[in-house]
Structure 1
Amino acid sequence: MARNKFHEGTGPSQRQLRVGETIRRALSDVLARGDVHDVDLNRMSVTVGEVRVSPDLKIATAYVLPLGGQGQDELIDLLARNKGELRRQVAKKLTLKFAPDLRFRLDQTFDQMDETRRMLNQDVVRRDADADSDE
C-alpha cells in the first residue's frame, strides 16, 4: 500500500505545489475577469490566497477571502453554487489530464497573523522577549 507523504508530515510534493499555484492563478484570473455567469459573484472582489491540492491531484481546496473581509459566508455559498462553471473555466487554463474538483474554504491566515501580532504586543511577552535578548 502506497503511503501518503502529505499526511506523514513531510508536506506537499513539488508537483502538488506547482499545480496548486497554477490553479490559484487561473482561479484568480477567472474571478477577476468575471468569466462566471453569476452577477452576484462577479460583483465581489475575491482574494485567492492559496490552493492546496490532494496528492492524487483530484481535489483542489482554494482558500479565499472577499476583499475587505465582508460577506465571507455569502462568498463561500456563491463559489459553491458556481463550482462546476469555475471548474470548467479553470480547466481551460490548465494542462492537466483531469480538472480537479474545486472546494472552497475561508482563508484564516490574516486572522492568525492579527492574533499573533496581538499576542506579541502584550506587555508580558515583550518583557520576556527583552529579557531573553539581554542574556
Structure 2
Amino acid sequence: MKQTPASRKANETLRDKIASVVLFHISDPRLQMVTITACEVSKDRSVADVYVSADKERYEEVMQGLEAAKGRIRSLVGKELGWRVTPELRFRIDKSVDTAEHIAAVLESEQKWFDSISQEQ
C-alpha cells in the first residue's frame, strides 16, 4: 500500500502510542525488552498490523504476552489517540532485524575468507 503523508503520520502516531503503553502501563514480564518497530494502519483505520522485535528465542513468549494484553493495550491507546475508531491490533514479528544479522554474519564470513586468501598470496 502506498503511503501518503497522512497514513505515514497515522502509522507513526500509533506506533509511538503503543510503544508508550507497553513500556509504562503493561507489567507483563514477557514484554520486557520488546520493541515496537512499525505499524501499518488500514485506510479506514479499523485494523493495524503492529510489528515487534525481540530476541529470536523469545518470539513465542512475546506473542503470548501481546495477545494476553491486546485488549488493555487497545483500550489505553484508544484513550490517547482521539481517533473515531481504535484499530484492532494484529501483532506480527518483525524479522528484519534477524535478516540484517544474518546478512552481517555472511558478510563477516566472506571477509574472513577474503582475508585468508589475501594472506596466502
Structure 2 match to 1:28: 19
Equivalent of 1:73 in 60, 71, 83: 60
Higher relative contact order structure (alpha carbons within 8 Å, sequence separation ≥ 6)? 2
Gaps of 5+ in 1: 1-5, 127-135
Query: After the TM superposition, which segments of 4 or more aligned residues of structure 1 sit over 4 Å from their partners?
Result: none
Structure with the bigger percentage of helix = 2
User: Normalising by the residue count of structure 1, what TM-score does the alignment of the two structures yield?
Assistant: 0.71
The alignment covers a number of residue pairs equal to 111
Q: Secondary structure at the match of 1:56?
A: coil
Structure 1 match to 2:38: 50
Q: Alpha-carbon deviations, 1:51-95, whole Å to 9, x = none?
A: 1111221111111123x4441111111111221111001111102
Deviation at 1:39, TM superposition (A): 3.6
Matched, 1:62 2:55: no
Q: Which amino acid aligns with 1:90?
A: V
**Cα pair 2:38 2:52 within 8 Å, conserved:** yes
Q: Alpha-carbon deviations, 1:99-131, whole Å to 9, x = none?
A: 0000101111111212333444536xx8xxxxx
Structure 2 match to 1:101: 88
Report the aligned-residue RMSD.
2.1
User: Normalising by the residue count of structure 2, what TM-score does the alignment of the two structures yield?
Assistant: 0.78
> Percent identity over the alignment?
25
Question: Structure 1's 41 and 119: CA in aligned 2 closer, same or farther, altered over 3 A?
Answer: closer
Q: Alpha-carbon deviations, 1:2-36, whole Å to 9, x = none?
A: xxxx2xxxx22222211111111111111111x13
